Amino acid sequence: MAGPLMRMPNGQMIQPQIVLLREGTDTSQGKGQLISNINACMAVVDSVRTTLGPRGLDKLVQDDRGVTTISNDGATIMKLLDIVHPAAKSLVDIARSQDSEVGDGTTTVVILAGEFLRECKPFVEDGVHPQNIIKYFREAAQMAIARVKELSVSIEGKDAEEKRELLKKCAMTTLSSKLVGGEKEFFGQMCVDAVMHLDQDLLDPRMIGIKKVMGGSMRESFLVDGVAFKKTFAYAGFEQQPKYFENPKVLALNLELELKSEKDNAEVRLSDPGKYQEIVDAEWNIIYDKLEKCVASGAKIILSRLAIGDLATQYFADRGVFCAGRVTEEDLLRVTKATGARVQTTVNDVTPEQLGTCEVFEERQVGNERFNLFRGCPGSKTCTMVLRGGAEQFIEEAARSLNDAIEIVRRAVKNAAIVPGGGAIDMELSRHLRDHARGIAGKGQLFINAFARALEVIPRQLCDNSGFDATDVLNKLRQKHALAGGEGANFGVDVNTGGVIDAYEAFIWEPALVKINAIGAACEATCLILSIDETVRNPRSEGADGQPIHAPGGRGGRGGRGGRGRGRGMRR
């Protein structure tokens, strides 16, 4: 930054420089920086572009620990990519926000944001001020969202059976682009059944458990109308316990049922050696008292978040009671929700109201694992999916796919409005914005037309990923959508034949909320990146010897929390 003019002894006038930033600070600004940010975002988009749609391909991502993930879920891929460019990280944020807000459409939102930026690039290169573009892009996004709401069809007010069928169609549309797309009808029905088991006021997704068991085919997956969890760590005596009950009482605990004396590092001084036996007997009396009270409560199934030792296991087996210790907190929470049991921290004064129940409890072999199943729970507000598959990576991706489908069904239940998929809604929005742009004078017409062109990227990418001629299909779609009276508004890409199809009639549906959120988030990310005109990278702090200084326990600390600082760490 320049200061006031100064006169040198030789009479020359100079303007001294004022140093604001530390030496080594990297600053980039102006049009070049903006175009650089746009290019970085477009490079990120190209990495997920081919995963869109039913014919989309998967990505294999390997992290620094050698863990590999195969997925075509946009949010998963964006999270696993180690993106270092500061502007491109905004695309990761919108993918995550779409995933948390809606559950699906993560690839769509990233591709839309990238295409908006691609359309902006020529304007920026020609010297158009970014704020002009931002103004009209926001206006176009608001119009597009309003049009989606106009075109949406409500499934509210349908009878229960018809509504389940409509929700199944939404789930199948989501699953068609996933690895389990070949069995989308089977899993679509499972997702709808799972959501319908939840409390319809809360629709808490945590109440749907997903368990993965390697081996078998996808068709061997099943839904439990209650809770299922893997057999916990078992002590001697476990095999003697009964593994099947009808209408049992369930006691849920949060305390240990095992001898504690060996764990305590206590010192006891005795003047009389005979007193030692009394201390040992006291330990046994305490645990036997607890076990007797558990059995006296009338419970036939005893679950605890903490350990149930070998003594307790054998004691319960002798009395025809089933027990399981070290049940995970998530599984115990779902058991209490399903059976109505309340978690106890003491076994004193356990009343019948604190016990839960279910119609059937059984232990069942699933592949190489044994599962404890609670079925037919009263007023069950939870359920469990047990997924089968031939490979671990396949099951992991199946679980991610089903999570997307479950989220879509949840959103469709809460916001019962759907729009045609297959790029139909995108083409209709594009046509609507083009028509509107004709009535705008000045540069705004160009910007809204650019926004409308960008929306066509979804059907174009569906064609590219399916191996069809995108230009030919888009021309057919433009022709259909240009029909008067909105007769062609439901036509989208037919990924099976490479033609066009009435997406609504073909039951290719998606919740309106997915498209509304995707357009809004993509537009916000675009406006954010366009509003950046300078990037400043501060230099890393360095020690007296020029070596970078890291916080204690950082990359250089051999001892973790402040080790001896070898390697790239702080030198002593």
Pair of tokens at residue 387: 């997924």
Q: Quick check: is 472 catalytic?
A: no
Q: How many CB atoms lie within 10 A of CB 329?
A: 10
* Residue 110 near residue 59 (C-beta atoms within 8 A): no
Residue 540, helix vs strand vs coil: coil
**Which strand (E) or helix (H) includes residue 260?**
none
Give dist(CA 36, CA 45) in Å, integer.
14
Residue 57, helix vs strand vs coil: coil
| Dihedrals phi, psi of 245, to nearest 5 degrees | -140, 150
DSSP class of 56: P
State how far Cα 192 lies from the chain centre. Answer: 18
First-residue to last-residue Cα distance in the chain:
38
Pair of tokens at residue 531: 């509003």
CA atoms within 13 Å, Cβ hemisphere of 318: 9
Angle at 167 between CA 166 and CA 170, to 5 degrees: 95
Give dist(CA 37, CA 179) in Å, integer.
33
**Of 201, 209, 507, which Cα lies nearest the Cα of 331?**
209
Q: Residue 398 contacts by C-beta under 8 Å, 6 or more apart in sequence?
A: 178, 179, 180, 218, 387, 389
Strands 222-224 and 383-389: antiparallel
Which of 69, 107, 173, 357 does the annotation list as catalytic?
A: 107
Q: Residue 155 contacts by C-beta under 8 Å, 6 or more apart in sequence?
A: 163, 166, 167, 412, 416, 417, 418
Q: Quick check: is 404 catalytic?
A: yes
Strands 322-324 and 222-224: unpaired
- Rg of the chain over all Cα atoms, to the nearest angstrom: 32
Strand order in the sheet with 153-154: 153-154, 417-420, 509-511
Which of 73, 225, 464, 494 does the annotation list as catalytic?
A: 73
* Residue 99 near residue 110 (C-beta atoms within 8 A): no
Q: Quick check: is 199 catalytic?
A: no
Give dist(CA 101, CA 368) in Å, integer.
37
Which of 225, 404, 426, 464 does the annotation list as catalytic?
A: 404
Which of 51, 76, 106, 382 does the annotation list as catalytic?
A: 106
Give dist(CA 245, CA 237) in Å, integer.
18
Paired with 228 in beta bridges are 373
**Of 33, 35, 29, which Cα lies nearest the Cα of 121?**
35
Q: Quick check: is 82 catalytic?
A: no
Question: What type of residue sits at position 452?
Answer: A
**Of 137, 191, 203, 202, which Cα lies nearest the Cα of 164?**
191
* Residue 487 near residue 81 (C-beta atoms within 8 A): no
Pair of tokens at residue 146: 């309003």
Q: Which residues are catalytic?
A: 73, 106-107, 404
